[in-house]
Amino acid sequence: MAKLAAAILAVSAAFFIAGCAGSSKFDDLFKPSWAFDHFAYDNQGEVVNMKLDNFSGAGFASKSKYLFGKVSVQIKLVGGDSAGTVTAFYMSSEGQFHNEFDFEFLGNKTGEPYLVQTNVYVNGVGNREQRLNLWFDPTKGFHTYSLFWNRRQVVFLVDETPVRVHSNLEHKGIPFPKDQAMGVYSSIWNADDWATQGGLVKTDWSHAPFVASYQGFEIDACAVPGEVAAADVQKQCSSGGDKRYWWDEPTVSELNVHQSHQLVWVRANHMVYDYCSDTARFPATPAECLHHRH
């Protein structure tokens, strides 16, 4: 099984590589959005360190909003006893009926694994949590976390390995996020009322500050100017045969065979919670769970 796992994870994700842009400095794409004094920069701005202490967390936001494409960042998560902390990387639109795609990294006691929670909001409705542990220690070095989005699917990737797919099931009458431009965000904050063992383990502030580090900022997506009307957003980001809009290509309309195998392996070996299987929360199975193949 170990050899099979290694083979699966080693397969090149050529399916997505075609659309990858070169990495940029933080200031090219992002700006701090709160707690400016909780940021520190290394390597001439290539690395951003964002801290949480008992005064404040911190967050940053993209300078533009996007519809479809791929966003990636390399993160080294809080080491040691990170219980109670959450480091989030996500995309979100605005308003009550917003869309949102979340990576939330839930801290834990020293020596225990990080849990990664993903969630998808559509038209303001979330409650689609999945949780998994990782096949590496995310506190020992930088790893790449990506969100890929087109009209057919939303794919969550860790080091180019798909860990979740949310498919477009509009033909089944299920809404899909495709008409709201979204910003790209990250934050670190205290959530010890729920983040670690359901809130049983609290943040130990004697270990503060808790620092998450970032590098390798990449956005290869359709930037939507603020003045574009909502009705024109999709038109703005439709390819019309333009190869720059690579996310419209048929080859990225679904996972390829290797990626499908990778996702099966992740679900079988690393998923620890899936809302689709939580009959206590959802006595009636959520509609999309009846149709999703993954």
User: Is residue 188 a contact partner of residue 76, using CB atoms and an 8 Å limit?
Assistant: no
**Is 104 in the active site?**
yes
What pLDDT score was predicted for residue 135? Answer: 94
pTM for this model (two decimals): 0.90
Among candidate residues 107, 105, 103, the one with its CA nearest the CA of residue 120: 103
Question: Exactly one of 104, 160, 218, 288 is catalytic; which is it?
Answer: 104
User: Is residue 67 a contact partner of residue 40, using CB atoms and an 8 Å limit?
Assistant: no
Q: Is the pLDDT of residue 17 over 60?
A: no
Tens digit of pLDDT for each residue in 21-40?
567 889 999 999 999 999 99
Tens digit of pLDDT for each residue in 189-228?
988 786 677 777 788 899 999 999 999 999 999 998 776 6
**Is 100 in the active site?**
yes
Count up the domains in the chain and report the number: 1
* Any domain includes 9: no
* Any domain includes 215: yes
- What size, in residues, is the chain? 294
CATH number at 42 reads 2.60.120.200
Range of the structural domain that residue 29 is part of: 18-291
* Any domain includes 247: yes
Tens digit of pLDDT for each residue in 263-273?
999 999 999 99
* Any domain includes 220: yes
User: Is residue 132 a contact partner of residue 116, using CB atoms and an 8 Å limit?
Assistant: yes
* Any domain includes 173: yes
* Any domain includes 195: yes
* Any domain includes 219: yes
* Any domain includes 108: yes
User: Is residue 241 a contact partner of residue 250, using CB atoms and an 8 Å limit?
Assistant: no
Question: Exactly one of 100, 160, 218, 288 is catalytic; which is it?
Answer: 100
What average pLDDT score do residues 273-291 get? 93
